[in-house]
Structure formats: structure tokens, C-alpha cells
Structure 1
Amino acid sequence: MNKQDLITIYPTGFFSDVPSTDISQLSLPINQEWFILEKETLNPSEEQLLTTLFPNNLDTHHLDHHLWYHYLFQNKPLPHSEKSFRVIQLKLKKESTNAKDWLTHLSELFNQVEDFFFIDRQTAVLIEEKTHIILQKEELEGMLLTLESDFLIQATAYIGSFNEATHNFTSFFAEEELIFSTYYAEQQHVFSFQDIALDYLTKDKIQESTIMQSLKETLVLDDEIKRIIETLWLKQGNITSTSKELYIHRNTLQYRLDKFYERFGISLKDMKNLTLCYLLID
């Protein structure tokens, strides 16, 4: 039985990069993904047959003593606290037998970690308490690169926002979890909401806009110009920094920007035009 067979038989099911932590749902591993089904839509015989065909070998018993696991993923209460926390989500490029040691060493590099654990073989969370020392993105990137050389483990991390541990905290985390699962494959090592906010907040509007879709069809953006637009935007329009990042001569970059203007009448040296074109990149 393949993915299409499952969708055909169970149209209410859906695929996810991670297994569901909701006890009312059944998670079936298939081709590095998880097919999620509501258990109430299955009779006991179906559930038994599916779990036999798609055995889930993930051991979750180690999560029983993690209060933050129950709070974030099972809507269980957390002891009252007026402190602020943020969740750092981590995704390993591939499974590793050293993963738990790697995560333990990573946690020791923070000033104050409240909890940390893997929720599946490649996905982990680390809950950091807000103190006077707040690690920045560049510092976390350095930590991951250091541990990569020690453990031969590559990972992508999403830095969440600090929020008080109130009833709204799980709502914040639910959106951050969605963001991470949507964007982690496109990122290098570490990213935060600021890095993907423009795309995240405008994606649906761009799809709905007749003007933007027409502009997208008009502008022929090949892979080369897409790289230029993306890098130039990330470098805030700085041509020298962009040319260094792309390993091309500054004059060559200037020439390509001029040719783009001649062809489409849009100057990528103007930040408003550059941002507009950046939004059109798939």
C-alpha cells in the first residue's frame, strides 16, 4: 500500500513530517513521512491492521516525565509560572545514534534551559528561560557548527519568541511549530520569524492577487536572476556584499541588474522594486 492508496481509502487523513502527539490520532510511518488519521474514524480491526502494516517503532516512554512535553503537545497544565520562555525547535538532517548526547551538550551551552527532549528520531525541542543573557542567531549557529564537528550531526534550528507561560503560550507554539515544519527544509542552520515573516504573511495574498500573478507571468525569473534577487534582498541591496556572496565580479552584477531593468523596466537597485520581485520568487 502506497501513499496514494492511503489517501484514496482514507481521504480525511493527511501527511506530516512528524508524528502526531495527539493521543486521539494514529500516526503511520511511510517513506520518511507520517500519515495521520483520527482514531474515531477507524474501527478496532482497521486500527490493528494499519498498525501491523505500518509499525511505529518510535518509543515515547522517555517523554512521560517531561512536563513541557505534556504541556506543549497534549494540552496538559503546567505549574504556574510568571517567567518567560521560548522554544527552540531542532531538526536533524538524518538520524544519529548520538542524537541524545548531542542535544544534552547543546543544552549545556545555554544560560538557563528549562527542558529539552526529542519528540521523534530527528526532531527535538529545547525550552529556554528568559534571563539577562539571550543568545542571538549567530551564536546559536556557531554552537551548532561546533557540535557538528564533534558529533557529525547537522541540524536546522528555529528560534521562537519569548512569551510568558500562560494559556496563550501553547497557541504561540502551535503557530511556531507550523512555521518550522513549513520552512526548515529551505533554511541553512538557524532561522527565526523575522527571516520568513515576509513570505509567511504574504504568501496567501500573493496567490489571491490577480496583479501579482500577472506580474509573475510577465517577469521571466530564471534560476540565476532568482539567486541574485534573493541574495541582494538578504544583503539589503548592498551590491558589493551580494557580489561577494555570489562569487561574481561587482561589475558583472551591475551589468545583470542593468539588463534586467532594460528588459522589464524594474530597477532591482530600488528596495521597493527589489522586495516586490523577492516576493515573486517561489
Structure 2
Amino acid sequence: MKLSDLFPGAMLSDVAAAHQDVLVLPLDQGFLHLPKADLTEREKALIQILSLGEEKTNSDSSWLSFLQGESPLPIAERDLQLIYWHHPSALSTELKRLLTDIFSNSLLVTELSAHQSLLVLDASDLHDSSDIIKDLLPTIEGDFGLSLKAFIGNAWTGFTEQDLQVILSMEYAIFQDYHDENAPQLTTTFAQALLWSLAKKKDIALLSQKLLALMDGLKDGRDLVIAMWQEHGNLVQTAQRLFIHRNSLQYRLDKFHQVTGLNLKDLDDLALAYLLILKN
């Protein structure tokens, strides 16, 4: 007998997050979403027990607990960028090795659950991860037969462990919310997720304050963002507006990227920086 016969209102998805009126049961091929109204109290209790058992079996409790704000940072490195992977089935050893090897600043790859993994990068050696990942996803699907979705976290440097836990916990929560409502998208950057959060009027005040503090720590950081926005990202015209040489502008853009994690030559990153300034 099929699950659809037993539970006509059930829906199969590769997304774990769900509405409060829905229970989620992890399966090999994804997650089964079951409306609570269709279940008896006994069935609800059984599903919750099974879900807890699955989570304990497949999750890396140290990183998952850290991202949920419950335990210390599981690594000594404090300059971090996290790449979150959603996948319909567990990653093979060969694929984990590929993800580790393709990034020269890779620190580790770990599973958070059967359908979510984490790539931890050394943010002090900053690279543009988004272009690498966009080129990599078709190769992975072709060679490994696995469709991955990547959420590219910001590069955070110079923070204490306590600050990192707050920042990365909120970043993780935002990506989870974004994935729930934008499932078809294969790659999502930190800027895209925060712009979506602003549009949805979600509370991102803490991350906004952290990013603004990083901008203000740079000489004329806000002026650089405003000039880039007013010149639509044109480097020649931005340099002229700021009365500096093109090479000096490039140096300031590189420094801004290194300190804040935002690449102002990317339209989403520039829009995010500009909106944060406008709101404050």
C-alpha cells in the first residue's frame, strides 16, 4: 500500500522545515510532510519518536548544536565561512573528498543530518565561493547523480567565539527559512537571503548591526558603498566620483570584501550594503 493511500494529505519534499501544523518524517528520498489534522494522537507521538531517532543517528551533534546556539564552537579557527548543502540522499565519501579538495581554504566537511551537510572554510583566506559552486553543481549532478542546493554563508572574520555563535546561528536560521520558501533555487548567497529577509520584514537587526559595524570600521566605508550604488557599480565612474585612482578603488573594494565579506562588485552584495545604510 502506498503512503498516499494511507495519508492523502501527505507531501514528499526535500525540505525539512515545515509549518507548525505539519509533522515531518525523514525518508531516504526526502522528507514526508504530514498535516497534523490528518493524524491521530498516537500517530503523532510515533512520528515524533522516529524523527528524533533519525536526527540522532545522522547528525553531527557538535556542529548542529553550535548552529542552534546550544554548544561551543567545535573548531579552534575563528575566521569562518560556512557553506550549507541540502541533498536528497547522504553524500558519498568521494563527494565529500571532492568538496574538501576543490576549495584550497577548506577546513572540513561534516554532515548535519541525512539531508544537510556543512562545508567549513577558512575566511582569512578569502575566495569567491559562489562562482566555484555554480560551476561545480552541474559536474556533481552529472558525475554523482546527486542534485545539491548550496547556501553560501558570509565570510566572518575578527569575531569572538560568542559573537560567532550568535551570528552563525542567525545566518543558519535565515537560510533554513529561505530554503523553505524558495526550494527550486540551486544556489543562494548570504546577500540574497538577507535581501529576501528584508523584503519579508523579518528580524535581521543583529546581523545588520554587525555588518554596519564592520563597514564603519573601514575608512569611508559607507561613502564607498554609496558611490558604487550611485554609479551603478561602474568602477571608472566610481573612482572619478571619489577622486581616486582606479587602482586605489580596487584596493578599497578588496579591503571592504576582506573585512565585511561583501563584494561590492556583486549587485546583490552592493544592494544589501546600500539598503542597510539607508535603514540606519
TM-score (norm 2): 0.50
Instruction: Compare CA radii of gyration and give the structure with the larger one.
Output: 1
Question: What is the TM-score with the length of structure 1 in the denominator?
Answer: 0.50
Higher RCO structure, 1 or 2 (CA under 8 Å, sep 6+): 2
